[in-house]
Each structure stands twice: as structure tokens, then as C-alpha cells.
Amino acid sequence: MRVILGILGGGPAWWGLTVTGLGVLSALFGMLYAVIDDDLKRVLAFSSVENMGLIFIALGMSMVFSSYGLKAFAALGLLVALFHAANHASYKGLLFLGAGAVERATGEHRLDALGGLLKRMPVTGLLFLVGSLSIAAIPPTNGFVSEWLLFQTALQSFRLPGAAGAKIFFAVAAAALALTAGLAVTCFVRAFGIAFLGLPRTSAAREAAESPGPILGAMGLLAAASLGMGLLATALFPLIDRVNQSLYGVSVLNQVVPPVLARPAAFATLITMGGGLLGSPGGVNGWVIQPATGFSSIATPFIAIFVVLLTLVPLGLTFAGRGKTVPGKVWDGGRPEFLPTMQYTAEAYSNPIRMLFGRFYRLYGTLEAKEGLPSVLIYRSGVASLVEDYLYRPLTGLIRRLAEKIALLQSGSINLYLCYIFVLLVAALVASRYFS
């Protein structure tokens, strides 16, 4: 950001489109692999790849708007990128701490070795649920606010003057964002459900115990940050806006808002462009996020109030005696008891997506006879990594081969090293003679 926006001034539109395109690829690839992985930590790692893609999409859109002179909308894109980076730090830290707490309690981080942890680790489970809701962009969490603003930034492409290609590109990016958002919900319903709900699948899961206080305290702080940054997003925008003023010389906020953050009336946060881009001052409107006048708006505190009231209805009916819980036996095909092996596995849950994107995943399977028991067949299936197989392995292989050849220069001979210096000085003198 310092080099491209601060020193180089943002560059031409194709720079921003390139950054946006790389962000889209990162978001899609990361989430497509996260939604099928069986390792909880790898799921979170692939999700980080996806979230870095979202940050780069916002940054690329900011660069495109800047190249067309739309500094206010460029500042909006930059605000979204920075806000999502802060949000990701909170809920991804929470989820990794949760995964660490699960591994500490069970010794496992494979989803199919877990299950039923919510009864044994209720606080850890609820805090992990907060992180899952945030990263899946469920309102009123901070992940919802930043991803909603990212969609709104993409929808502002109609303001680009005569840039048909850029407008189409933004539309494709918005569609990819929608696909990524849907996959993210599936991914973390799967991760939380397989790990924390149902019956324990292993003895390690059955013997799990709640995390100690320091771990829960750290997770609690990050969970509070994830919820607080969603509910009080308009209070945070003025802090992030300082970067906009430094790099673009434009504020995203209405200048009429007093620089006081002590009451909701001061939380009006929006870009001033024909009436405002991020809110309006005064009263309850100070909680409203409005990226463009008359275009759309949200108010996460009001959403939170609605969710709480909606939850109180069934609770009230239950306590009033009108709603009663009657336990019933789960259908188990006529067996005397329901077994953990009858539950959905992580692979079974993601199998429809695995089949739908089979060409992308490049599924493979092997069938072999067990050694010593030719009548016993073993089937193994897996997913090939396109990025690893076609990008990183060829690239690292090339670097290794070049390094082996360059290593011949390090002979250990002082005379040879002095010869290198002499040849380099002669070449520098010749170059200065003909190019000065």
C-alpha cells in the first residue's frame, strides 16, 4: 500500500484489476479447499488464504477507482480492505485458539476424530461458534459488515466513466464473492457441526474436558472484539479513515460530524459525495452504514436487537409451558442404539461440493490388495492441489536447479573471487563509458 498508493500514486487501472483478479483467485481457491479438508487447522489455514483474497479484492478495487480519479470511492475500498484485515485478525485468532484448545483437550485436530465436544467443552464451543459466525459473515458480526461493504464497493462500478471492461470485471468479482460467501457458510457449519455437535467419535473426544481460564479468557476477548467490531463499526471507521487521508488525501467521513466518539450521534460515518457514502449525522442514524446515498444501508445494532427479540419468542413460549421438549429416539435402521459411526462424516458432508467441483479438485482414487490378505481390498481417495502441483512445485524445482548451478561459483578460491571483482569492475567501466 505504501509503495503502490503512497509512492507510485496508484498506477493505471490494469494494476488494480490485476490485484483484484489475484484476490478473486485466492478467495475461491482458498475456500474450495477449506470446505473439503478434514483437518481443522488446515481448514482455518485455507480460510486465511480466502480472507487474504478478500482484502486484496478491496485493495484492487480501490486502485481502480483511484486510477479514474474517483478518490472518494477509492478511499471506500481502502477502508474496506483495512477493516476486513482487522476483522480477520480477531475472528481467525479466536478460531485458531479454539482449534488449539480442542487439540489440547483431545490430542486431535482431525474433524472425524472429534464430535460431541459442546457438552464437554461448552464455553470453548460457544466461543468457537462466535468465530464461526463471524468468518461466515453472519450478521451482526464484524465479518458481515466488512463483506457487505465489499459487495457494496463492487456495486459502485457503474460510476466508472466509460470503463466497460472494468465494470464487467467488477461484476464477475462480485459473483465470485457471492460463491465464496456461500462456501464459507457451508465450510464453518461443517467445521463446527462435525467437531462440536452429535456424539463423540473417539475415546479422546469422549474424555475431553473444558479449557482452563487463561485460554477461555483469551478467546473471550477475541469473541468480544468480533461482536463489538460488528456492532460498533461506525465508531471504528474514523480511526481507519486516517489512512485514507494519508494516502488519498480524502476522508471517507462526513466532515460535519464532530470528532467526538462519546455518544452514538457522533458515529455518523460516511463518504461525502452528493449527500454521503457511509452514513448520516445525528440520532440513531449515527449507527447506520450507508455506502452510497439512496443505494443501500444497514445498522448492525438494530439487527442484533431483532435477533435477540426473535430468540426470546421461543424461550418465552417454553418457559410459559406452551412449548415442551419431548425426547425421542433417533431412527437407527432398527438397531438397538444410535452409534457415532452413523453420523455424517466430514467427507460425507462436503461430498456434494467435492462432486460439483470434481474437475477443479482433480479427484483420484487407488485400489490395492492388503499385504498378505489378497481378498481384502483397500480404497484410498484424495484431492490433488492445483496450486501446489502446477505452481509451487515447478517453481521451487526451478529455483533448486538454478541454485545448484550458481553454487559452482562458490569454489572457495580467493583468487577466483578476486577475478570476479576484477571482471565486474571492467564491465562497470565499459558500461559507464557507453551509457553515460
Distances (CA, A) of 4 to 11, 63, 194, 206: 7, 9, 43, 53
Residue 435 lies inside a defined structural domain of this protein: no
Q: Report the pLDDT value the prediction gives residue 64, as an integer from 0 to 100.
A: 93
Question: Which grid cell is 337?
Answer: 442404539
Domain that holds residue 202: 2-248
With cut-offs at 50, 70 and 90, classify the pLDDT of residue 323: low
Structural domain contains residue 126: yes
pLDDT at 266 exceeding the cut of 50: no
- Per-residue cell: 380: 484410498
Residue 140 inside a domain? The answer is: yes
Residue 404 domain flag? no
293 pLDDT band (50/70/90 cuts)? very low
- pLDDT tens-digit profile of 50-89? 999 999 999 999 999 998 888 888 888 999 999 999 999 9
Residue 7, in any domain of the structure: yes
Q: How far apart are CA 34 and CA 191, in angstroms?
A: 10
Q: Judge whether 422 lies within some domain.
A: no
Per-residue pLDDT band for 227 (boundaries 50, 70, 90) equals very high
Residue 356, beta-bridge partner list: none
CA 108 to chain centre: 24
Whole-number Å distance between alpha carbons of 225 and 165: 39
What pLDDT shows up at residue 265? 35
- The answer to the question of residue 153 being in a domain is yes
pTM of the entire predicted model: 0.82
Instruction: Give tens-digit pLDDT for 339-398.
Output: 888 888 888 888 888 888 877 887 777 888 777 766 788 887 777 788 888 888 999 999
Q: Alpha-carbon distance 299 to 303, whole Å? A: 7
- Is the pLDDT at 331 greater than 60? The verdict is yes
Residue 162, Ramachandran bin (φ over 0: left; ψ between -120 and 50: alpha; else beta):
left
**How many separate domains does the chain show?**
1
Domain assignment present for 20: yes
> Taking Cα atoms as reference points, which of 16, 34, 128, 32 lies closest to residue 81?
16
